[in-house]
Amino acid sequence: MSLNIAKDGRKRIVIVGGGFGGLQLANGLKGTDYQVILIDKNNYHQFPPLIYQVASAGMEASSISFPFRRNFQKRKNFYFRMAELRAIFPERKIIQTSIGKVEYDYLVLAAGTTTNFFGNKNVEQQAMPMKTVDEAMGLQNAILANIERAITCSTKQEQQELLNVVVVGGGATGVEIAGVLSEMKRTILPHDYHDLDPSLMNIYLIEASNRLLSAMSPESSSAVEKYLREMGVNILLNKMVTDYKDHKVMLADGSSISTRTFIWVSGVAGQPVGNLDANHLGRGRRIKVDSFNRIEGLEDVFCIGDQCLVEGDKDYPNGHPQLAQVAIQQGANLAKNLKRMIKGKPFTPFRYKNLGAMATVGRNKAVAEFAKIKMKGFWAWFMWLVVHLRSILGVRNKMVVLLNWMWNYFNYNQSLRMIFYPKKAKEIRDREEREAKMHWGEDLMER
């Protein structure tokens, strides 16, 4: 396999990852004399803030995804390749990918994060994460299939395990999925499953610290906790999950919760790079960079977004929050610096401008913080809708999401609650198996 992109004398920038940061950087380099190559394991950009709505069967996956090639249709000197990064060799200015080697003049790592299971192998194998559209669709299938099974199972014990939902992690994703599942219990189960008692469905939200939404103010945390308790969510604070076995979530205090729907959104870690030396990694497996997002010790290699940890920022000694705005701002700043490089001008350091934070738990229930302004209730929820609608790529997607929200506001009876188990064609399965074997062979040769 080959990249099949000829070097044409222009400096080549290779961007690994098409999330918020990578996309912002690619867009920011429009009109420059660089040859830009974007590499991502998917052929689409996904919108993580709304993934929980896909998981709860409230929105189609295509509504929060947008193909890269469509976004860059009219760009000259821009190329997209669907591949995965395997290893980097900065001394030769080459990366190894699942489709072969790629030469670069400047490399930007922007691959984001993956779910952090904190070394618990049992939890990693059994829990359902919710970081990607693929995972959200898998979770959607599991939730719906478990409800269907609960109607026909033979024992009350199995039925209760199928109807108990345990969400681990009290951050924004955790409170949002707990809230939307609570609304699903209240509005969908009585209509779609009239022969099933909705009160049998229990939703648990477990958080190891003493409050939800620890990244926001105590006032916002209290408001969200109040909303969720009123919605019937069982909130367990200061509780740490230690294991999962025999369909039971095990807690550090010796108690357990029976469930077959075990959702893990408790933490993230930087997306690993096969052969990157551990000296370059900081907290949460994030890659350490300077104020210009350069990886120290690696010539012409940068890292932006959730995958990086900017050192030396006194306002954020533990790293910037892993939010979309940080990635977007870093991508924009690096694009400006790469343009300045062409003109022989010095780089400008990255300075994060905190634009606020928000989270929603249901209809008319949300919290939002902007500088000194704190909001909750309907207006916070309305602001959440506006901000997220503006950020979605594509006019069609914006319209679909808007119409979906308007319909759901008055009527929860959308027809998305179907169970699909996609199967890859044999050709694709065989090709992926061959690529995996080739990768290991090439890796051994490099060593």
Query: 61 in a domain, yes or no?
Result: yes
Both 249 and 302 in a single domain?
A: no
pLDDT score at 444: 42
Residue 118 DSSP one-character state: T
Q: Say yes or no: 177 and 249 in one domain.
A: yes
The domain tally of the chain equals 2
pLDDT at 274 (0 to 100) = 83
Q: Which residues pair with 264 in a beta bridge?
A: 168
On whether both 234 and 276 belong to a single domain, the answer is no
Question: Please, which residues have CB within 8 angstroms of residue 442's CB and are 6 or more apart in sequence?
Answer: 86, 96
Which structure tokens are listed for 235? Answer: 């909130």
DSSP 240-286: -EEEEETTEEEETTS-EEE-SEEEE-S-EEEPP-TT--GGGB-GGGP
Residue 176 and residue 105 share a domain: no
Residue 384 is assigned to a structural domain of this protein: no
pLDDT at residue number 445? 47
Hey, what are 145's tokens? 């299939």
pLDDT, averaged in runs of 10, over the chain (447 residues): 81 96 95 95 92 86 89 89 94 93 96 93 94 92 93 94 97 95 90 91 97 95 97 97 96 96 94 91 94 93 96 88 94 97 94 93 93 91 89 77 71 65 75 70 51
Is residue 19 a part of any domain in this protein? yes
Within this chain, do residues 259 and 276 fall inside the same structural domain, yes or no?
no
Q: How far is CA 298 from the centre of its chain?
A: 27
Spatial separation of the C-alpha atoms in residues 372 and 82, rounded to whole Å? 43
Identify the CATH number of the domain in which residue 93 sits: 3.50.50.60
Structural domain containing residue 294: 12-115+269-356
Contacts of 330 (CB under 8 A, 6+ apart): 21, 293, 304, 305, 308, 350
pLDDT at 185: 92
CB 133, CB 51: distance < 8 Å: yes
The verdict on residue 361 lying in a domain is: no
